[in-house]
Amino acid sequence: DGGITQSPKYLFRKEGQNVTLSCEQNLNHDAMYWYRQDPGQGLRLIYYSQIVNDFQKGDIAEGYSVSREKKESFPLTVTSAQKNPTAFYLCASSIDGREAFFGQGTRLTVV
């Protein structure tokens, strides 16, 4: 079945630790996106990539990093510079800004 797979579903991070969230798609989509969702805030764009080996910052990129070495994969690293990382993270993909499809999300909690 085609779709977007995010892992893990739940992730716990200690203070000062970097963690990486995985996002894989088998839809053959060129564009991939990372969003952060906080209660009452809606979804905010962190990073997006329209093609392999290229990506752009979204509205809240500080404290995050990404890579796009393969078309299918767009991992997000939450670095120690992100002071408030507890949130629900959603990955999406689309063909050139058309209909977007989302994964099931990763809930990150700082412990």
CA atoms within 13 Å, Cβ hemisphere of 42: 4
The residue whose two tokens read 């700082």 is 110
Among 11, 45, 60, 110, binds other proteins (CB under 8 A): 45
Stretch that binds other proteins, among 14-22, 29-37, 61-69, 72-80 (CB under 8 A): 29-37
Q: From the CB of 80, what's the least distance to other proteins, in Å?
A: 26
Compute how many residues bind other proteins; rule: CB under 8 A: 24
Stretch that binds other proteins, among 19-27, 60-68, 75-83, 93-101 (CB under 8 A): 93-101
Q: From the CB of 64, what's the least distance to other proteins, in Å?
A: 15
Q: Which residues bind other proteins (CB under 8 A)?
A: 6, 31, 33, 35, 40-43, 45, 48, 58, 88, 90, 92, 97-105, 107
